[in-house]
Amino acid sequence: MTARNFVARFETFPELTEIYGKCPVMQKKKTVESNRICFIKVIDCLQYLARPEQAMQGDTDDESNFMQLLKLVGKDQPLSIKWLERKEDSYTSHDIQNEIIAIIANHVIKKIWYRKSGLAFCYYV
């Protein structure tokens, strides 16, 4: 039985979840899901600031527009604030911000190219 099958079978029985709630597989799944939610918030904030070309950084990292926006967005979810306060891997460094913005830019360029190539094909037909 694979871990994925185990988790799927585990979730179908609520009484097992109550008894074995501290299962390492289930805890890892919850951690991965919460990290995904928090990372999506990071991407959303970067996308919001990059669109009107607003400055990401401030005098210090804590005063930057990016961190202030993340704190504002995270007010409704205490998990996001705890995730931001982690020092080992919060995915908010300048290098990671630049990498995420580059990925978003490449995605936009590809979408534009596909639209243009589709229009050019329609004109030739």
CA distances from 57 to 36, 52, 83, 89, 118 (A): 24, 15, 20, 19, 38
- pLDDT at site 3: 55
Q: How far apart are CA 79 and CA 74, in angstroms?
A: 8
Using CA atoms, how far residue 40 sits from 74, 85, 100, in Å, is: 12, 16, 11
Give the number of domains in the chain. Answer: 1
Instruction: Give the pLDDT means over successive 10-residue stretches in the chain (125 positions).
Output: 57 57 71 85 87 76 81 84 75 84 89 75 49
**pTM of the shown model:** 0.63
Distance CA 73, CA 45 (A): 8
Residue-level pLDDT at 125: 46
Q: What is the pLDDT of residue 18?
A: 56
- What pLDDT sits at residue 12? 61
Domain encompassing residue 53: 3-124
CB count in 10 Å sphere of residue 52: 6
